[in-house]
Homo-oligomer: A and B are copies of this chain.
Amino acid sequence: MSSIRPALTALERALLSTMAVFHTYSGCRGSLRKVDLKTLINRELRQFVQVSTLEQLFRDLDTNGDLRIDFQEYATLVAMVTSARGTFLVQK
């Protein structure tokens, strides 16, 4: 009898959702070019991130300077945005 996996929690679903967005925009390349990040921000984070910050954001995220945002660097974006929003919410 196959073991029945417990349902995912809201937080686990949220993390899977953030991963799915990366894979949607990185496609088979497995990393985001600047144009991909711009499209992702425009479509998926338009209320949390201003696309005018794209250049600076890309420089901050691209820690290995390969002009690509790999998954680890994307996870940093998730943390940065979560942190920025969260700190804003805590101070309100």
Binding site for B on A (CB under 8 A): 5-6, 8-19, 21-23, 30, 43-48, 71-72, 74-76, 78-83, 85-87, 89-90
Contacts and interface: CB of A to CB of B under 8 A. Distances in A.
29 contacts: A6-B46, A9-B45, A9-B46, A9-B47, A10-B21, A11-B18, A11-B21, A11-B44, A11-B45, A12-B44, A12-B45, A13-B17, A15-B48, A15-B78, A15-B81, A15-B82, A18-B82, A19-B85, A71-B86, A72-B83, A72-B87, A74-B86, A75-B78, A75-B79, A75-B80, A75-B83, A75-B86, A78-B79, A79-B79
A42 B11 CA distance: 12
A49 to B, nearest CB: 10
